[in-house]
């Protein structure tokens, strides 16, 4: 497995020349960039020219991860040529949010015949029901297939996201790559958030749109807790993710991130489903715990490997907001947990996709999700 | 330089700034901006931390306050409900404790779950100890007749039940009775959950009922069974007879002279007489018979072994004899006697009231016939058909086998006391049954036509006997022979009388024919002619049982009679009964004025003799002087009386 990492900045171009010698049918090219790169067609044409045979996967982000650095307004690139692993790519448009599940199913059916060990998927971050998408993917793929990836981001703007479809940025699509053959995959997803305060019942909701908690508008609750910071909604809502638990379920439940608000409807849109009757609690974190969580994720995703691995880190925009200037402490923490010589690339997303526990896959929020890949003896 | 905060060090490193040298302006400005941001981050973090804490606390307080309100409300509701429940319990307790009843509950398997109220009603037996068991698992409950199955079926039907009576054993060995009522219980979904109800002690009531029933069985004065008890016995006999047909007889025994005793001696003496008669009856009946007192001087005997039916007649006679035995009242001898009416089951009736009524009617007939006698309701029932046949054939044989025999009851002259004659009375020495009285077989003889043969035999025998006496008696002794209705109605009677006289050689004037007043008056014209015919033979004619028929004195004076025999029923009551005394006096006077001799029958007491002597009655016949005697004892009797008379008048 050959890995080359590089970046591109609008003012300075490529950090190193494009390694087109790594182009092949077994080559995966990962590109995560600021939303503005969606208009920079020349960059994509360059890439297309340099890597005609490779499988290109990527999306817009809320922050670009390269090694242990977090940048913005840039593009990060990882070129990975596999010796024996197979690479397949596909894409599907999302007609409407309501059909997120069937879109996931379509992607899955296209990839399933290739006996994937890992499916990397990136999706439009705003016009999708992430929970349903992941469900559709999981239903269509063989049991035991690891699914990882995330929802494309748009900085803190929540305006427009894109994914690469045939190497070109497009909004409203889901793109995926399947890796099969002699590879070992590790994965981990850690939060570091803590729930506090009273439990509140979801008394009005529709899919991933939340209206009321305990009969009172959720938006009003958030504004109360944000105080002066309410002016920064919807972004500042990321400071208080929601922990969701169905009545009768044990365990910590699932964390949900706000993607948008509607003042008229007094509603809040989340990255995943907010079921009616679910019990919710506000969550908080501080930077120490977040970094600790990331380090933990790194250690888990390593999966006992000693040889260098290629790691894809998908973290959450909410963490970026909390960590602020110290954001690169978490990406440093994950890389430090991996074997020496490992490479890391990734992005800050609007929702992370990763296996969780026994279940095949889940949509996470506010987590640092790490997926490690290495080639093993055939 | 002191080591830098690692964030600052990183920020410097990112900008490529060396800590030891000031950076260029751009780098410197960028660095300051980033450091400033870092401070802002820290501020923001603190702000959010404090804000979330404050608001969260406030929320918690609000929630607490709400919960407290809710809790207070609930507590107040609980207090209310508890008070309501306590009041309800108190009402229940006062209800159950005031009464003599107890309240019980059972679960769906009919095991007692709760008992309240008067649980100590049975000394030594705690009703409360029933809990956990079904009623049939409790030893102290006696199983109802037929076992527990019926009660269990009732409970399993989940129906209400009222006043089911159970008997309990008490530790002291006694018995108690409880009346239990119950209602089924169902839950909200209609499922049966058990029973609840009350129980009541009814031991006293039950015992009282039993006492009443027992008291209602016996006559307090005599200790005999009472009417109710008699009817029960008769019902039982009828029921038994349904299984195995067995006839039985009801004997209605009415004392003859009880009214006299009460009037003459007072009620306490009367009671004594009743007790005596009751005792005599009790001793006279056979094992298996029942005797009851059903009214003033009325008794009923239920006789069960009545086969053959002749046994009833003999039995009745025995009862009559024992009741006729004298009783000493205030130093004087008194004979009470009785009349008995007999009804047979099933011939005369198939239920107790009918049988009793018929026995009563028969009793009246017996009374009318002269008292101290018995009568069957249906005369034919003297003998059962097969018995009849047997008796008839026996009778036929008896005539040939010399089983018939004549006894002779002496007639005594009132003045002088000598024997003036004798009445021939037929008896049958039955090989199995012993001496049978004419009442037993004469009606049979009449029905079967044997009466003619018997009648001829009686005439012949009496004439022969009288003839025999003439040769050895100191003076002529006439013999009297009773004629039955059939004989009297027979045209050949005169011929047979003549024949008997001729065969025996007895002078006609020494033969007296006794014919009852009733027979004479049945067809008076015919009677007159018949009597003339007989009188023409030279025989004497006596009207028997005078006063009991429907005589027309006009006719009577035209009959060629020789003597009048006053019926025993008048004689019995003299001298006490003024009516009977008057009648007797009148009859004697009338007979004398018609130049007829008067004989009084059934004389038993000296007072009667004295009275009759004062009234100039001619002759007396009765137990006072002699019972009917066998032929060989007649002459010795006659001689004794003759000697006594001679001694009395100083002759001989």
pLDDT, tens digit, 9 for 90 and up, residues B366-397? 887 777 888 888 765 544 555 666 677 778 78
Inter-chain touch A197–B45, beta carbons under 8 Å: no
**Pick from A132, A149, A109: which is nearest to A353 by CA?**
A149
Compute how many other C-beta atoms are within 10 angstroms of the C-beta atom of residue B578. 10
Inter-chain touch A225–B52, beta carbons under 8 Å: yes
Q: In this structure, what token pair is assigned to residue B159?
A: 């129906």
Low-confidence ranges of chain A (pLDDT < 50): 357-360
**Chain A partners of B9 at a C-beta cutoff of 8 Å?**
none
Note the pLDDT of residue A50: 94
Compute how many other C-beta atoms are within 10 angstroms of the C-beta atom of residue B95. 13
Inter-chain touch B38–A326, beta carbons under 8 Å: yes
CB proximity B47 to A under 8 Å: yes
Note the pLDDT of residue A357: 47
CA distance A293 to A191: 6
Do B419 and B412 meet the contact criterion of CB atoms below 8 Å apart?
yes
Decide: residue B82, CB within 10 A, 0-12 exposed, 13-18 middle, 19+ buried: exposed
Inter-chain touch B48–A197, beta carbons under 8 Å: no
Do A166 and A358 meet the contact criterion of CB atoms below 8 Å apart?
no
Note the pLDDT of residue B384: 52
Do B446 and B454 meet the contact criterion of CB atoms below 8 Å apart?
no
- Alpha carbon separation from B5 to A189, A331, B9, B49, B239 (Å, rounded): 29, 18, 6, 22, 125
Residue A55: which residues within 8 A CB-CB, separation 6 or more? A27, A28, A29, A87, A88, A89, A177
Note the pLDDT of residue B1: 57
- Beta strand A116-123 with A146-151 is parallel
**Chain B partners of A239 at a C-beta cutoff of 8 Å?**
48
**Pick from A347, A316, A373: which is nearest to A187 by CA?**
A373
Note the pLDDT of residue A361: 59
CA distance B313 to B278: 20
Task: Answer with the residue of higher pLDDT: A57 or B219.
Answer: A57
CA distance B599 to B584: 11
Given a cut of 60, whether residue B651 has pLDDT beyond it is no
**Chain A partners of B10 at a C-beta cutoff of 8 Å?**
328
Given a cut of 80, whether residue B169 has pLDDT beyond it is yes
CA distance A57 to A59: 7
Do B204 and B214 meet the contact criterion of CB atoms below 8 Å apart?
no
Nearest residue of A to residue B58 by CA position? Answer: A197
Compute how many other C-beta atoms are within 10 angstroms of the C-beta atom of residue B33. 11
Given a cut of 70, whether residue B308 has pLDDT beyond it is no
Inter-chain touch B41–A325, beta carbons under 8 Å: yes
SS3 assignment for A228-239: HHHHHCCHHHHH
Across the interface, of A225, A226, A326, the residue whose CB is closest to B7 is: A326
Inter-chain touch A227–B51, beta carbons under 8 Å: yes
Task: Give the mean pLDDT of chain A.
Answer: 90
B309 pLDDT band (50/70/90 cuts)?
low
CA distance B73 to B501: 133
**Chain A partners of B48 at a C-beta cutoff of 8 Å?**
226, 229, 239, 284
- Beta strand A209-213 with A267-270 is antiparallel
**Chain A partners of B65 at a C-beta cutoff of 8 Å?**
none
Note the pLDDT of residue B652: 45
**Pick from A186, A55, A176: which is nearest to A104 by CA?**
A176
Inter-chain touch B49–A286, beta carbons under 8 Å: yes
Given a cut of 80, whether residue B446 has pLDDT beyond it is no
Inter-chain touch B56–A227, beta carbons under 8 Å: no
**Chain B partners of A69 at a C-beta cutoff of 8 Å?**
14
Residues in chain A: 378
Inter-chain touch B56–A198, beta carbons under 8 Å: yes
**Chain A partners of B44 at a C-beta cutoff of 8 Å?**
229, 324
Q: In this structure, what token pair is assigned to residue B537?
A: 């033979």
CB proximity A325 to B under 8 Å: yes
- Alpha carbon separation from B544 to A221, B21, B367, B458, B565 (Å, rounded): 140, 184, 17, 18, 5
CA distance B269 to B273: 6
B401 pLDDT band (50/70/90 cuts)?
confident
Nearest residue of B to residue A214 by CA position? Answer: B63
Q: In this structure, what token pair is assigned to residue A137?
A: 């993917």
| Model pTM above 0.90 | no
CB proximity A224 to B under 8 Å: yes
Average pLDDT over residues B551-580: 84
Note the pLDDT of residue A356: 58
DSSP B4: P
- Beta strand A75-81 with A27-33 is antiparallel
Residue B591 falls in which region: left (phi positive, over 0), alpha (psi -120 to 50) or beta:
alpha
Burial B391-409 (b: 16+ CB within 10 A, else e): bbebbeebbeeebbebbbb
Inter-chain touch A197–B63, beta carbons under 8 Å: no
Q: What are residue A299's DSSP bridge partners?
A: none
Task: Give the mean pLDDT of chain B.
Answer: 85
Do B604 and B326 meet the contact criterion of CB atoms below 8 Å apart?
no
- Give Cα A359 distance to the centre of its chain: 18
**Distance (Å) from the C-alpha of residue A195 to the closest C-alpha of chain B?**
11
């Amino acid at each position: 497995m050959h890995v080359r990492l590089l970046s591109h900045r609008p003012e300075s171009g490529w950090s190193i020349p494009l390694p087109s010698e790594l182009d092949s049918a077994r080559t995966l090219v990962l590109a995560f960039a600021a939303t503005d790169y969606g208009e920079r067609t020349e960059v994509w044409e360059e890439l297309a020219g340099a890597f005609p045979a490779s499988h290109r996967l990527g999306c817009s982000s809320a922050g670009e991860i390269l090694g242990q650095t977090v940048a913005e307004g840039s593009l990060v690139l990882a070129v990975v040529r596999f010796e024996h692993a197979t690479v397949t790519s596909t894409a599907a448009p999302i007609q409407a949010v309501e059909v997120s599940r069937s879109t996931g199913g379509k992607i899955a059916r296209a990839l399933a015949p290739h006996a994937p060990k890992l499916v990397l998927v990136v999706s439009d971050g705003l016009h999708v029901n992430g929970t349903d998408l992941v469900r559709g993917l999981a239903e269509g793929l063989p049991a035991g297939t690891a699914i990882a990836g995330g929802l494309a981001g748009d900085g803190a703007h929540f305006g427009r996201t894109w994914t690469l479809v045939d190497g070109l940025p497009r909004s409203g699509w889901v793109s995926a790559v399947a890796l099969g053959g002699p590879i070992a995959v590790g994965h981990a997803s850690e939060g570091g958030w803590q729930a506090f305060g009273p439990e509140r019942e979801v008394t009005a909701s529709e899919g991933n749109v939340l209206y009321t908690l305990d009969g009172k508008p959720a938006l009003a609750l958030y504004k109360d807790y944000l105080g002066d910071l309410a002016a920064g909604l919807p972004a500042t809502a990321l400071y208080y993710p929601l922990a969701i638990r169905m009545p009768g379920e044990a365990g910590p439940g699932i964390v949900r991130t706000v993607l948008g608000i509607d003042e008229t409807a007094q509603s809040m849109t989340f990255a995943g489903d907010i079921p009616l009757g679910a019990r919710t609690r506000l969550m908080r974190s501080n930077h120490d715990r977040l970094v600790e969580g990331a380090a933990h994720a790194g250690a888990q995703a390593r999966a006992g490997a000693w040889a260098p691995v290629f790691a894809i880190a998908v973290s959450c925009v909410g963490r970026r907001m909390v960590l602020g200037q110290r954001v690169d402490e978490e990406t440093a923490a994950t890389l430090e947990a991996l074997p020496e010589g490992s490479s890391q690339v990734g992005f800050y997303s609007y929702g992370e996709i990763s296996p969780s526990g026994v279940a095949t896959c889940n949509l996470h929020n506010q987590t640092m999700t790490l997926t490690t890949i290495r080639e093993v003896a055939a | 330089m002191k080591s830098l905060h690692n964030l600052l060090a990183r920020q410097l490193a990112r900008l490529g700034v060396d800590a030891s040298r000031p950076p260029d302006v751009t780098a410197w400005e960028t660095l300051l901006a980033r450091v400033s941001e870092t401070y802002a981050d820290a501020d923001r973090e603190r702000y959010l931390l404090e804000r979330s804490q404050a608001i969260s606390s406030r929320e918690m307080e609000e929630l607490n306050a709400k919960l407290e309100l809710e809790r207070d409300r609930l507590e107040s509701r609980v207090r209310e409900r508890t008070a309501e429940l306590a009041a309800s319990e108190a009402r229940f307790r006062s209800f159950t404790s005031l009464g003599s009843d107890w309240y019980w509950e059972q679960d769906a398997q009919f095991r007692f779950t709760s008992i309240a109220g008067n649980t100590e009603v049975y000394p030594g037996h705690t009703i409360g100890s029933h809990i956990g068991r079904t009623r049939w698992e409790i030893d102290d409950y006696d199983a109802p007749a037929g076992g527990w199955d019926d009660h269990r079926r009732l409970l399993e039907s989940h129906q209400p039940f009222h006043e089911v009576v159970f008997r309990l054993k008490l530790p002291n060995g006694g018995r108690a009775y409880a009346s239990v009522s119950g209602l089924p219980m169902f839950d909200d979904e209609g499922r049966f959950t058990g029973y609840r109800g009350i129980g009541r002690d009814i031991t006293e009531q039950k015992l009282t009922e039993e006492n009443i029933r027992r008291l209602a069985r016996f006559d307090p004065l005599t200790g005999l069974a009472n009417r109710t008890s008699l009817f029960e016995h008769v019902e039982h006999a009828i029921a038994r007879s349904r299984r195995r047909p067995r006839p039985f007889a009801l004997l209605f025994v009415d004392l003859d002279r009880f009214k006299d005793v009460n009037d003459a001696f007072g009620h306490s003496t009367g009671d004594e007489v009743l007790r005596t008669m009751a005792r005599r009856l009790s001793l006279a009946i056979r094992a298996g018979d029942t005797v009851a007192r059903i009214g003033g001087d009325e008794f009923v005997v239920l006789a069960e072994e009545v086969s053959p039916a002749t046994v009833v007649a003999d039995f009745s006679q025995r009862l009559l004899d024992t009741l006729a035995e004298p009783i000493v009242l205030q130093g004087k001898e008194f004979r009470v006697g009785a009349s008995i009416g007999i009804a047979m089951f099933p011939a005369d009736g198939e239920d107790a009231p009918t049988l009793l009524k018929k026995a009563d009617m028969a009793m009246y007939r017996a009374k009318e016939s002269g008292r101290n006698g018995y009568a069957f309701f249906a005369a034919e029932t003297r003998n059962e058909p097969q018995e009849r046949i047997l008796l008839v054939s026996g009778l036929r044989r008896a005539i040939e086998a010399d089983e018939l025999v004549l006894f002779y009851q002496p007639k005594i002259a009132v003045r002088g006391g000598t024997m003036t004659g004798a009445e021939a009375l037929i008896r049958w020495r039955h090989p199995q049954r012993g001496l049978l009285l004419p009442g037993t077989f004469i009606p049979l003889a009449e029905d079967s036509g044997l009466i003619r043969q018997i009648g001829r035999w009686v005439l012949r025998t009496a004439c022969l006997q009288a003839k025999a006496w003439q040769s050895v008696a100191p003076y002529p002794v006439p013999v009297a022979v009773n004629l039955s209705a059939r004989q009297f109605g027979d045209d050949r009677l005169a011929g047979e009388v003549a024949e008997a006289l001729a065969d025996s050689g007895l002078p006609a004037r020494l033969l007296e024919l006794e014919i009852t007043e009733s027979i004479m008056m049945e067809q008076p014209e015919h009677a007159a002619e018949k009597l003339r015919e007989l009188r023409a033979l030279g025989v004497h004619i006596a009207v028997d049982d005078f006063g009991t028929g429907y005589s027309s004195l006009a006719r009577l004076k035209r009959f060629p009679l020789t003597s009048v025999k006053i019926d025993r029923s008048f004689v019995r009551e003299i001298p006490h009964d003024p009516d009977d005394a008057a009648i007797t006096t009148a009859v004697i006077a009338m007979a004398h004025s018609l130049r007829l001799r008067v004989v009084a029958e059934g004389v038993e007491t000296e007072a009667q003799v004295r009275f009759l002597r004062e009234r100039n009655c001619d002759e007396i016949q009765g137990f006072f002087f002699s019972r009917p005697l066998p032929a060989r004892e007649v002459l010795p009797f006659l001689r004794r009386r003759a000697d006594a008379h001679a001694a009395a008048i100083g002759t001989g």
